[in-house]
Structure formats: structure tokens, C-alpha cells
Amino acid sequence: MSKFDFPVFIFGAGATIGSGYYLGGDPSKKPPDNENFFKELDPKLQNSVPALKAICDALNIRLFEKKSNPEISLEMLWNYIYITRRYVAENLTSIVSMLNSRFKESKLTGQYPHRVLVNPKVGLDEKLSRLAEIDLIYLVWLILRSLKIQANGQNTYEKLFKETDLISEKNELKRKFAVISFNYDICLEESLKKLDNLFYYPNFGIKYTKDFIPIFKLHGSLNWKHGIDGHVRPTDNYEIINEEEFIAKGQELFPQAWKDYVPMIIPPTFFKEELFFRTGQEKVRRHFTELWRQAYQLVREASCLIIIGYSFPEADPHARWLLKAAGDRLSFIVNKYCDEKDKRKYENIVKSCLNKVDAFCHEGFDGCFKEIKEWINK
């Protein structure tokens, strides 16, 4: 088997940053990474996420005040919400009361499940952490849903696959490949949706076989929802639609009512499954378990791995376990580092996760096409 027979691409946040998609299509506003996710928040957004603001205030995290905003990443905030929730219950009764009073009269109706607010069996600390979790997912959704290609801009995903002779200029598949993504945005699938034989999980109308080009998003997606049957499904044609539209179209999308109105986003924490999938969500959990199992099998079947914009975080042992499935398969790693010390540090981390790293490119996503093409054809 040659390296070109079945390459598997793995994308991290750096791929989104270099994808050619910008917030609102404005090239001065790059997609935020994990470390810089909250640095440019509009203070007006705090009105849309009152439970998250309450938790952050209790933890002395000034999320919406740029001058005093601490260095906090998206991953860190997610962990804070889970791990420290039992310490923030004091003096927050009024917040719950406020949320209850505003529930019927505000736009938060589609954001918070009423059963959580009124359930006497759910303690105040857990209640607020659940609502803050919903708010954080909603905030991620609000920010990332605005990603667009600028006018006359370049779609780097599409260029990558065409420059490496996987897709023709007419968007026809020339060679088999597969994609695993750790990103929430839908830039990748928007770039590839013209392809025939594309298997985009979750797609329950088509059973995955080796005839399809799979796209597996291991942390969920902005446009995934789940219903009372436990199935996870994308919204209308890969598009992100607002909550009112989604609720209105619920019967068209699936004949049963949807359980929650927030996107299916899995937090990048140590215990992502145990913390995110609560009692009653066993079916959804099984679907994500199957998704990771299929991705594991995909890595084992790959002729090579091409990993772009992924930082190999220590806080995600699930991903490291997945990468170990590569065994002795050759890997080509793309990231963007200018400082030699940072390059060496990153390369050492990568080599601790993969058995065979054949090449690195530190020029970033849009500077690696020629090297990838040469590498998979040599």
C-alpha cells in the first residue's frame, strides 16, 4: 500500500484559523483559538448568557471586561464550570430566581430547558453549572456560526484537496481519503458538501461503508442536535439555523420532538463523556462512542496520517489514545511556529504521541500544499 492509497486527514483548531473563513467574512477577524477565545468578546453578549456570567462572577472571572479579562482558555472555563461548581452556590439564589422570572418573557425560552430550572431534585450548584454549560455552548455557537469566506477569498480546505489531487476542479472525487476533525465549526463540511459519496456523521439514512468518504467530528458540531429517540442529527443541509427556526422546523427535520435546543458540542475536558452525558442520555452517549470507535478503526486502516493545526493537548487523553492506533503508519504534521524553541517543543510532544513522524511543516495550513503533495507521492 502506498502512502497515497488512503490518507486520513486530522484537523485541529489551527486548520480553522488558516481555512480562509473569518468572523463575518472580515479578514481582520480570524477564528479564535482555544487560548484566545474570549479576548474579543462583545460586552453585550453577557445579556444572552446570564447563568455563565453569574458563575464567572462568583469565580472572579471577568469574562466580559476586556481590561481585566484574565488569561483563560475555552478549555479552562469548561473545566471551571464542572469542577468548581460546588463552591459557587453562595449568594446565587437570586440569580436562579431571576432566570425563573425571565424565562417566559425573554429570548432565553429556547435556550434553557424549563425542567432544569424547576426541578427540586437538582441542587443550586448543579443547576447553575448546567445552565452555565448551556450558556457556554450557546456562546461558542454565537461566535463560530459567523465564520464565512471573505468576498473573493480562498477556501483553504477546498484548495488543499484539489492541490493534492484528491478532488478535481469540478469537485469530483479522484482518490479515496477520510477526515477526522476536533473542531465545532462547519467550514470543512461546507467546503466538501458538493462531493458525491460523502458520509457525514451523523447520517442515519446511509450506512457507512468503505465506498464513502467519511467525515467524523469527534467533539460534535455547531449544527448537530439530538432528539428524544437519542439519535444525533445535523440540522437542515449542514446549515446553522437559529433556535426559533429550528423549533419551528422540528417536525420537518424529524417527526419526534427534540430534547434540547443547544448544539451537540462535547467539551474538551478530561472526563468529557462522564460529565456531558447525564442520566437519560445513554442513547446519545452510545452514538458518540460508536463515532470514536469508527474513527479509531479509520486510523488503523489509513495508509498515512496528515495532521493539520492540532496541538496534541495533554487534557485530552481520548485523542492521544486514538492517535496510538496509528501504530507504525507514517505521519506528516502541519502547524505554524516561527520560534525554533517552540518548534522543537511541539515536535517532541508530537513524537511522544505518534510512533512514526516522517515530516513537519511549520508554515501553516496555506503553506503546506506543495509539501503534502510531494510527500504522499514520493
pLDDT in tens, 35-76: 888 888 888 888 888 888 877 877 778 888 766 566 788 888
> Of 88, 112, 147, which closes a domain?
147
Both 163 and 214 in one domain: the answer is: yes
Q: Which domain does 115 fall in, by range?
A: 43-147
38 close to 140: Cβ distance less than 8 angstroms: no
Q: Which of 148-152, 200-204, 275-279, 356-360 shows the lowest mean pLDDT across its residues?
A: 275-279
Flag whether pLDDT at 303 surpasses 70.
yes
- Phi, psi (5° rounding) for residue 181? -125, 140
CB neighbourhood size of 238 (10 A): 15
pLDDT of residue 84: 62
pLDDT greater at residue 362 or residue 236: 362
pLDDT of residue 200: 78
Q: Is residue 137 part of a domain?
A: yes
Q: Is residue 226 part of a domain?
A: yes
Give the CB-side neighbour count of residue 246, counting CA atoms within 13 A.
Answer: 25
Both 168 and 49 in one domain: the answer is: no
Q: For all residues of the chain together, what is the average pLDDT?
A: 78
Whether the predicted model's global pTM rises above the 0.95 cut: no
Amino acid at 324: K
Both 293 and 169 in one domain: the answer is: yes
For the record, the C-alpha cell of 247 comes out as 423549533
Flag whether pLDDT at 109 surpasses 50.
no
Rounded-to-integer distance, Cα 377 and Cα 2, Å:
8
Q: Is residue 32 part of a domain?
A: no
Both 240 and 170 in one domain: the answer is: yes
Residues with Cβ within 8 Å of residue 115, at least 6 apart in sequence:
none
Strand, coil or helix: 78: helix
pLDDT of residue 137: 86
Q: Is residue 30 part of a domain?
A: no
Both 308 and 237 in one domain: the answer is: yes
Long-range (24+ apart) CB contacts under 8 A made by 317-320 are: 317/270, 318/218, 318/272, 318/292, 319/182, 319/218, 320/353
Both 364 and 275 in one domain: the answer is: yes
CATH code of the domain covering residue 233: 3.40.50.1220
Both 372 and 268 in one domain: the answer is: yes
Amino acid at 24: G
Residues with Cβ within 8 Å of residue 310, at least 6 apart in sequence:
10, 11, 12, 13, 14, 15, 182, 335
pLDDT > 90 in the chain, percent: 21
Q: How confident is the model at residue 318 (pLDDT cuts 50, 70, 90)?
A: confident
Which residue from 197, 200, 286 is spatially nearest to 239, judged by alpha carbons? 200
Q: Which of 11-20, 279-288, 295-304, 339-348 shows the lowest mean pLDDT across its residues?
A: 279-288
pLDDT of residue 105: 44
> Of 147, 168, 186, which closes a domain?
147
The segment with the largest mean pLDDT, out of 120-134, 242-256, 339-353, is 339-353
Residues with Cβ within 8 Å of residue 269, at least 6 apart in sequence:
75, 78, 79, 82, 275, 315
Q: How confident is the model at residue 178 (pLDDT cuts 50, 70, 90)?
A: very high
Residue 293, burial from CB neighbour count under 10 angstroms (0-12, 13-18, 19+): exposed
Question: Which whole number is the average pLDDT over 285-297?
Answer: 84
pLDDT > 70 in the chain, percent: 71
Question: Which whole number is the average pLDDT over 272-287?
Answer: 62
Give the distance from CA 298 to its chain's centroid: 19
Which residue from 80, 221, 200, 65 is spatially nearest to 141, judged by alpha carbons? 221
Which residue from 141, 127, 144 is spatially nearest to 54, judged by alpha carbons? 127
Question: Which whole number is the average pLDDT over 77-97?
Answer: 63
pLDDT of residue 174: 86
Q: Is residue 37 part of a domain?
A: no
pLDDT tens track for 232-268: 777 654 443 444 554 555 545 443 444 455 678 887 7
- Within 286-339, strands assigned E span 304-308, 330-334
Both 276 and 160 in one domain: the answer is: yes
pLDDT of residue 305: 95
Both 307 and 159 in one domain: the answer is: yes
For the record, the C-alpha cell of 103 comes out as 424565562
Q: How confident is the model at residue 17 (pLDDT cuts 50, 70, 90)?
A: very high
- Say how many domains are in the chain: 2
305 close to 10: Cβ distance less than 8 angstroms: yes
Pairing of strands 178-181, 7-11: parallel
Both 81 and 218 in one domain: the answer is: no
> Of 82, 117, 147, which closes a domain?
147
Q: Is residue 321 part of a domain?
A: yes
Both 198 and 86 in one domain: the answer is: no
- Could you write out the DSSP letters of every residue in 88-144? --TT-HHHHHHHHHHTTTSGGGGTS-HHHHH-TTS-HHHHHHHHHHHHHHHHHHHHH
